[in-house]
Structure formats: structure tokens, C-alpha cells
Amino acid sequence: MHKTVKFGGSSLADAKQFRKVAAILAADESRRYVVVSAPGKRWDGDVKITDLLYTCYADAAKGEDFSGPFAQIRERYEEICRELGLNLDLDGALREIESELRARPDRDYAASRGEYLNALVMAAFLDIPMVDAAGRILFDENGNFLPEASYRALYAKLKETPRAVIPGFYGSFRDGRIHTFSRGGSDVTGAIVARATNSALYENWTDVSGLLSCDPHIVENPAPIRGISYTELRELSYMGASVLHESAIFPVKSAGIPINIRNTNAPDDPGTMIQTGAGLKYDRPVTGIAGRKGFSTILVEMDQMNETVGYARDVLQVIAKYGILMEHMPSGIDTLSVVVPTAQLDPHRNEILVELKNTTHADAIYVSDRLALIAVVGRGMVRQKGTAARVFRALSEAKINVNMIDQGSGEMNIIVGVESADFEEAMRALYREFFPA
């Protein structure tokens, strides 16, 4: 049995953190494949290596000198090596990166070099090979991840390597050009490596002890989530509550590989285990509560709407034409509401309203802004009587008006819309209801 482990930027910010990582790996010899991020912030106000690299790229693309931020990058890695007592010469790699940025500035190449250099340092510190993700995590010409080709390429290399360090966040096109995932993409790399090597577990080490049942900026000391299903995590992540890149779930979910979120600074904490729902026990109907502000509702009214074939399709086609995401669509017999992100609606608001009127011949169209959405999520509420009643009672007792209600067909989530001004108090009211002290 072996594990894939990924360490985030805060876990590798300096030499002290590197030593913590080495101790975690030494404590369990089954932790064989190590995915690393670029060094993160050491303190409030510090700058991440990846952000310095983006600055270098921006200056290089404009033909300007980037020697200042590049010198900071060089000093950061040299300091880590010096404090670890490593006799590792990074000068050649750094000069190659600097030369490439001057000759052919490329944003993805620049951003990826933090992970690349950190993998070199970690491999030297652990005295195990570094296996580059370029040429093994593959993308098509449109930047779409190629799963099967990547799994084959990684497996072919790693089956010969009992232990290895792999840089996170990036891969390459078929022609060798570097391509990155979105920010936080080292989580995805870890999941891909876990799948390719058929790991028994994917440990994702960060600076928190797993997931919390509610936003700690809103609720003081919310309960930790010890076990959660992939599906529940997706629901909560979509509403903004996650310490894991949302795309990291898919490679391991299909292979049945659990994910364990752990804290590098508190390695004895069990963290959160993410797995199939079949392996979890639920002692309460709700697993977590999450929400976001910044939504608008487009309300379309027309008599006998229910007798008009394709009416909802016509409304959604207008909205889709402007590249706007449809979040929810509660409806009645003669009304249809579409909830959309306000930031996406604003640039096209007037055009959309005119086009909707001309296309749907609606009797009236209204737009309401300042809507917040809150998701109450839990597999434990499936066939559990009274959960929705508890949601509405909690909000009613807090004197909060509910503007929208939507329950998923899988009975795993209830989403309510409230005024943005009521968002925080609504979250606290729902937390008190389902997570009593």
C-alpha cells in the first residue's frame, strides 16, 4: 500500500516548513509520491513565489527589466537551501529560467517555475528523484487535460521509481510547451498522481486541519467535518467553502481513492476524510453550511407561460448568448426566475432585458440585486423528515426573509436566497439550528 501526498505553499514556505514535511514523510514510509507547490507566504505581507514570477512575466512581456523580482526569487530559494544545509546548485536552472523569460516570455512557463524549483530542492533534501510533470501531465491544443494519456505517461515513469517528488500545478502540451492548471492546481496534480499510481490514499497537506462546517469568519469556532462525501464537498465548494481545488476530486473519485485533508503544522490532527458516501456514517442531517453574495434574480412574468412550449429554453438562450452562468431557476405557472452572478449580468444588463422582452413577449421583467445564496448540505437529510422546516424556522426566528428556495433533486442540499445584508446573520442562525453547542 502506498500514498500520494501533496504539500501546499504554506507547508513549504521556508526551511522550517521543509523540515516539518520531512518529518511527516519519515513517520509513514507508505508516503511515497510527493507533490509540491511553490513556496507561499512566510508571514502576513510576504509575497508568494508564484506572484513574483507573474510579476517577472508581466515586466518581460512589456520589454521591461525584471531583475528586481527575479533577485527576490533567487534569494528565497538560496535561503531555503542554505538553512537546510543543502549543497544544491540552482544557478543553472535559475539562469535558464531568466534567459527563457527574456527571449520568449510566456505566462504559464513563468508561473510553473516556482513548483519546478521547489521540486528540485525537496528532491535534494529527501535524496529521492524529481520527476518533472512536463511531458507526463498532458493537455490538448485547447488546454484540456488529457487524463488517460497522462495516467499512462506517469505510470510508465513512476512504476520504475518507488519514491519521487513531482512538481504540482503544471504539465505540458504535446509539443512540450508548459501549460498550467488554474490557481491552486497542485491539488489537481496530486489527484492525478494518486490515480496514475493507484494510491490507497491521497493526503493533501495544508495549513488547516480539514474542512469546517461553516465559514469561521462568520461563525466562531465552527465544528470540524471529519468525514464528507465527494458529492457533498462539490456542493459546499461551489458555494465557496473549500480548502481543495474543485477539480481535484474527479481523478480520485472515479478510482475510489479517498482524500485526507491534513494540517502540516498539526500532523496529529485527523483532518477531513473525503470518500464515497457509502463509507460514511451521519450523526446529523447537515454536514456543512456555505454561501456567497453577489447574485441577481431575473424574474419573467407571462400569463399562461406553462402552456408555451420551450419558454424556459428561450429565456436561457438569451442569457447564455452573453456568456452568463445560470445558478438556479425556480419557477411557477406564470413566472420564471433565473438567478445569475451580478458581476456577469452588469455589463450586458440593458441588452439582455431588451432581448428577453423581444424574444419571450413577457408581460413584465424585473431584476432584483443584492441576493445572497446559502446552501445547507448533507447526505444525512436524504429521506429525513423536517429538515426544510428547520431551515425556515431558524430563518424566521432570526427575522430573515427568504427570497428564493431551491432543493436539489438528490435531496442533499437546500438552497435559500436572502438579502445580502442578512447573509451573515442567516448563516449564524442556520448553524445554531443544525450544530447546537
Q: Give 135-176 pLDDT, tens digit per residue.
A: 999 999 999 999 999 999 999 999 999 999 999 999 999 999
Site of grid cell 473525503: 274
The whole-angstrom separation of Cα 204 and Cα 35 is: 9
The predicted pLDDT at position 240 comes to 76
Helix 49-61 vs helix 107-126: crossing angle, to nearest 10: 140
Q: What is the C-alpha to C-alpha distance for residues 321 and 333, in angstroms, rounded to an integer?
A: 25
**Residue 181 pLDDT:** 96
pLDDT, position 246: 81
Position 286 scores a pLDDT of 93
Model confidence pLDDT, tens digit, residues 68-85: 999 999 999 999 999 999
Q: Chain-wide mean pLDDT for the chain?
A: 94
What residues does 372 pair with on adjacent strands?
418
Closest CA to 211 of 264, 277, 158, 287: 287
- Quick count: other Cβ atoms within 10 Å of Cβ 157? 17
Report the distance separating Cα 189 and Cα 136, nearest Å.
Answer: 11
> How far is residue 50's CA from residue 186's CA, in Å, rounded to a whole number?
12
Q: Can you give the pLDDT at residue 235?
A: 87
Q: Backbone phi, then psi, for 119, in 5-degree steps?
A: -65, -40
CB neighbours of 12 closer than 8 A, spacing ≥ 6?
18, 21, 36, 37, 38, 39, 40, 118, 122
Domains defined for the chain, CATH in brackets:
3-277 (3.40.1160.10), 288-434 (3.30.2130.10)
Please state, for a pLDDT cut of 70, what percent of the chain lies above it: 99
Burial (0-12, 13-18, 19+ Cβ within 10 Å), 335: middle
pTM: 0.89
Q: pLDDT of 181-230, one tens digit each?
A: 998 899 999 999 999 999 999 999 999 999 999 999 999 999 999 999 99
Rg of the chain in Å (alpha carbons): 25
At 278 the pLDDT is 67
- Which residue positions in the chain have pLDDT lower than 50? none
C-alpha distances (whole Å) from 411 to each of 230, 274, 358, 381 are: 15, 19, 37, 7
Query: How large a percentage of the chain has pLDDT more than 90?
Result: 86
